[in-house]
Structure 1
């Protein structure tokens, strides 16, 4: 599965390595093209996942703010709720498309 923004692949991983949470596909950290991402200062805390880290992507010289997010330090019970350790996995904004 590929996460694509304006023709640029942001992440790529086999479908079985993804985590499906609340309608979002979360990609493992190793699948990201890290050179395209910068940490965002945007703050958010999910009541059951914990504090989120947002990411901006730079594609074709243009910065797309808060296009991705992850939960680096999961709250107790989050892994059990999902059935998979998704710490650091990255989900994407709805502007990103997914391709097989």
Structure 2
């Protein structure tokens, strides 16, 4: 079982992650939607497509743009559709 933890809270847990470039992509349903806050940030990857971001809020603290996902991944990255990955201090273990 893989978990994503930030600020002492488990924010995602699944035994069905997809690892791409060293990052675990969790099924969206395995992520606690209550901690995800919308962000206007986007970035572009040449082979995956355009990523969108969420900030994470736990116990009154915010980790800006610490979660990302590809709403419409390119065909080469189809396996990460409907999945979310983390960074910026989120521990994935």
Q: What TM-score does the superposition give when structure 1 sets the normalisation length?
A: 0.85
Residue 42 of structure 2 aligns to a residue in which SS? coil
Say whether residues 1:24 and 2:18 are aligned partners: no
Question: Contact 1:26–1:89 (CA<8 Å) still a contact in 2?
Answer: yes
Q: CA shift at 1:63, angstroms?
A: 1.4
Residue 78 of structure 1 aligns to a residue in which SS? helix
Stretches of structure 1 lacking an aligned partner (at least 5 in a row): 80-84
Q: CA RMSD in A?
A: 1.2
Stretches of structure 2 lacking an aligned partner (at least 5 in a row): none
Q: Which runs of 4+ in 1 moved over 6 A?
A: none
Say whether residues 1:93 and 2:92 are aligned partners: no
Question: In proportion to residue count, which structure has more strand?
Answer: 2
Say whether residues 1:42 and 2:41 are aligned partners: yes
Q: What TM-score does the superposition give when structure 2 sets the normalisation length?
A: 0.91
Question: Contact 1:39–1:53 (CA<8 Å) still a contact in 2?
Answer: no
Residue 48 of structure 1 aligns to a residue in which SS? coil
Q: CA shift at 1:98, angstroms?
A: 2.4
